[in-house]
Chain A
Amino acid sequence: MYWYVARRLAWAFVATFIILTITFLLLEVTPDAQAAQLQFQAAQGGGSAEAAREAYETRRGLDAPLWERYSNYMINVFTLEWGWSDTRSQPVVEAILDAYPYSLMYGIPAVLISTVVGIAIGLYSATHQYTLADYAGTFVAFFGISIPNFWFGIILLLVFAVELGWVPVLFDPNVPVFSVANAKQLVLPVFVLTTAAIASEMRYARAEALEYVNAEFVKTAKAKGADGRRILTRHILRPALVPLSTILVGDLLGLILTTSYLVEVVFGIPGLGRLSLDAILNQDTALVLGTTFIPVLIAVIGNLLQDLAYTILDPRIDYGDR
């Protein structure tokens, strides 16, 4: 098992390396917007576009050989020297550090609630298959999956902020983190994200649990005299956790990569999604790169944790000698 863990760790490093290398190569072949702009300005001012480009490249260290630039890039990535954001006039790392607490503020509650509630509803649905409650759960799931998040967010804002005035329309980043005001303005974004994530969690949990609801060993447990709750938590949920643990990482990524953009834009939250979106719109290459590293890191670390969770959750998987 230790050998397996060590190998997984090593593989996580390799994967990170590969992803970073691909990112580097992509950047190499991408036309540099700033260089193009400088060249354009130089040409307009009657200067040499070529000279301007060379000056720019020397200044940025782009005239060094490919290998040197690659190793510099790698060192910088691992030492958190992620460059300078021109549009924000601050280091990229600083910009990210400023933004991420806002993402966590709605992200953590959304993930926790959707995981717990989603699995709970899924289990209930599975054990009460084809009852009214099961159909209701299925309806909620499809509602959550089908409804576009940004639209749902806007409608909720219109109803609860504009019409009813229960929550503020504009997100105020200056209120204290643990305060009623902050909780109030986070309710809607968390709710929107949760409805989307709950749906997939619930469907997976239902499908996985159904596989075990009719299992022979569940009947054995019942024949032993175990009560319904014990059967559900010990004999159904526990084996179902193995596959369920795998979708958690995917859900997190989905949340961070896509949903957060929409939610942060709609609700005006200055989190990582907004930061990344603005960087893309303003062609701030360093910042785009920096905000891309975050989901990459989460994916690599998440997959690593998931593989390790397997070893604990399912004793049938033997890693000893491989």
Chain B
Amino acid sequence: MSGNDSATPDAARDATSDATLDATDREGRNPLLSVRDLRVRFRTEEGVVRAVDGVSFDVYPGETVCLVGESGSGKTVTGEAITRLVKSPPGEIEGEVVFDGQNLSDLSEKQLRKIRGGRIGHIFQNPQNALNPVYTVGWQVAEAVRLHTDASRKEARERAIDLLDQVGIPEAAARYGDYPHEFSGGQKQRVVVAQALAANPDLLIADEPTTALDVTIQAQILRLLADLREEFGMAVLLVTHDLSVVAEVADRVVVVYAGKVMESGDVYNIFEDPAHPYTRALLDCLPGRGGETRGIPGRLPDPTNPPDGCRFHPRCPHALPECREGAQPPLYEVADDHEVSCVYYDGSHDPTAITGEASSRPSFPDGGGGGGVSDRANVRPDDSREDEDDE
């Protein structure tokens, strides 16, 4: 996991400019997916919502990257903007998305359709609604097969049965003709996974694939994804707010907040040495990490009018005057494959004010500790049914 060779210590890179992560090799490979300065705006009656505001990250072949953040942080929109699934209008997508050397932003709808479902598979949050209620599940999986291959009806049917079998639908052939309402939530998600895998994609974008499921089923689906990743050698971009899921499956983590990348890096760096106050606050919400479990006081900023400076400063216990003005701080490199967007790491401040000792975790300015936490900010791994309204 090492080897960002061109690393210049403390190199300040602008989060909104070209290179957050070097597009050079990691272990001698080129990134499969390289997102640069992705911006998604929605024109609404309340104003322009900047759901994603300059997000950059890379996904290398075969690895699992987790996009982490609270509800409404823009992670879902990021996942959908990659293959331009975001409805436009009202959505407007800017920035560069390079997939396997191809700039997806330059492709026509027709060329993009070949990528969607062909080389990039999608899984969405709620399996209850992800399948069309008036078609059999087999038909829907076979449709995915036929859209990307020249398979005849019969061949597509056989392939669909194989896929259903691979994702663990018992008696796949017999259940081919059943309708979605005859399946449980977990089984539906398996069918959705089967659809996404129909054309052997190189990248699977999974948007909260377990959020709407029971905890026991969550584990099964995660295991299934991990197995399939191994089997097919595909990369996975997992969008989630569930840090326990991240700890389990991620190779690398990108923490987003209010449409900006706060911190990104190797999963061990993020969990062992979280650098950004937001990441630390998120991790503090996890039970069983010592100390009492608490939420993050305050709420997400208004997406039509985000605060100046660091997006997180109104909720940050360490906020300095310079956090309140200008743009989001650039991403500073704190270690190999570990970058953080926080002024404490610009070289002129002392980051130990944030990282400190675990025992001397800072208290929050408004006194919000164990007590007055807002539900919305309460990011806990068992918050599995938390409402997502990333739109």
Task: Identify the A interface with B (CB < 8 A).
Answer: 130, 214-217, 219-228, 234-235, 238-239, 242, 313-316
Interface of A is mostly: helix
* Bound complex: CA A224 to CA B141 (Å): 9
* Bound complex: CA A215 to CA B131 (Å): 10
Residues on B with C-beta less than 8 A from A221 are 132, 143
CB distance from A273 to the nearest CB of B (A): 38
Interface size class of B (residues with CB under 8 A): 35 or more
Residue of B nearest to A131 (CB): B89
CB distance from A317 to the nearest CB of B (A): 10
CB distance from B339 to the nearest CB of A (A): 30
Sample (20) of A-B pairs whose CB atoms are under 8 Å apart = A130-B89, A215-B129, A216-B130, A217-B133, A219-B80, A219-B130, A220-B124, A222-B85, A223-B85, A223-B121, A224-B116, A224-B144, A225-B113, A226-B147, A228-B109, A234-B132, A238-B134, A313-B134, A315-B134, A315-B136
Residue of A nearest to B122 (CB): A223
CB distance from A202 to the nearest CB of B (A): 22
* Bound complex: CA A80 to CA B57 (Å): 79
* Bound complex: CA A221 to CA B130 (Å): 9
Given known contacts A215-B129, A216-B129, A220-B124, is B134 in contact with A226 (CB within 8 Å)? no
Q: Is the CB of B179 within 8 A of A217?
A: no
* Bound complex: CA A217 to CA B83 (Å): 16
Write the B119-131 contact mask toward A (1 if CB under 8 angstroms, else 0).
Answer: 0011010100111
Residue of A nearest to B148 (CB): A225
Question: What are the 8 closest A-B residue pairs judged by CB atoms, nearest first?
Answer: A225-B117, A216-B129, A223-B122, A224-B117, A225-B116, A217-B132, A315-B179, A224-B144
Given contacts A223-B85, A316-B181, 16 further A-B contacts (CB under 8 A): A217-B131, A219-B130, A224-B116, A225-B114, A225-B118, A226-B113, A226-B147, A227-B109, A227-B113, A228-B109, A234-B132, A238-B135, A239-B132, A314-B133, A315-B133, A315-B134
Task: Identify the B interface with A (CB < 8 A).
Answer: 80, 83, 85, 87, 89, 109-110, 113-118, 121-122, 124, 126, 129-136, 143-144, 147-148, 179, 181, 192, 195-196, 198
* Bound complex: CA A316 to CA B178 (Å): 11
A314 partner, pick from B109, B126, B131, B134, beta carbons under 8 A: B134
Q: Is the CB of A220 within 8 A of B134?
A: no
Given known contacts A225-B116, A225-B118, A314-B134, is B124 in contact with A219 (CB within 8 Å)? yes
Residues on B with C-beta less than 8 A from A242 are 134
* Bound complex: CA A223 to CA B117 (Å): 6
Residue of A nearest to B132 (CB): A217
Residue of B nearest to A220 (CB): B130
Interface of B is mostly: mixed
Residues on A with C-beta less than 8 A from B179 are 315-316
A239 partner, pick from B134, B148, B196, beta carbons under 8 A: B134
CB distance from B284 to the nearest CB of A (A): 33
* Bound complex: CA A315 to CA B179 (Å): 7
Q: Find the residue from A130, A216, A238 having the highest chain B CB count within 10 A.
A: A216
Q: Is the CB of B147 within 8 A of A224?
A: yes
Residues on A with C-beta less than 8 A from B134 are 238-239, 242, 313-316
Residues on A with C-beta less than 8 A from B192 are 220
Q: Is the CB of A220 within 8 A of B116?
A: no
Q: Is the CB of B116 within 8 A of A223?
A: yes
CB distance from A56 to the nearest CB of B (A): 60
CB distance from A129 to the nearest CB of B (A): 9
Residues on A with C-beta less than 8 A from B148 are 225
CB distance from A100 to the nearest CB of B (A): 36
Residues on B with C-beta less than 8 A from A220 are 122, 124, 130-132, 192, 195
CB distance from B132 to the nearest CB of A (A): 4
Q: Is the CB of A226 within 8 A of B143?
A: yes
CB distance from B135 to the nearest CB of A (A): 8
Given known contacts A224-B144, A238-B134, A239-B134, is B114 in contact with A217 (CB within 8 Å)? no
Q: Is the CB of A316 within 8 A of B133?
A: yes
Q: Is the CB of A225 within 8 A of B126?
A: no
Q: Is the CB of A225 within 8 A of B130?
A: no
Residues on A with C-beta less than 8 A from B129 are 215-217
Residues on A with C-beta less than 8 A from B85 are 219, 222-223
* Bound complex: CA A281 to CA B120 (Å): 71
Residue of B nearest to A239 (CB): B134
Residues on B with C-beta less than 8 A from A216 are 124, 126, 129-130
Residues on B with C-beta less than 8 A from A226 are 113, 117, 143, 147
Residue of B nearest to A314 (CB): B134
CB distance from A130 to the nearest CB of B (A): 8
Residues on B with C-beta less than 8 A from A219 are 80, 85, 124, 130
* Bound complex: CA A223 to CA B124 (Å): 10
Q: Find the residue from B109, B130, B134 having the highest chain A CB count within 10 A.
A: B134
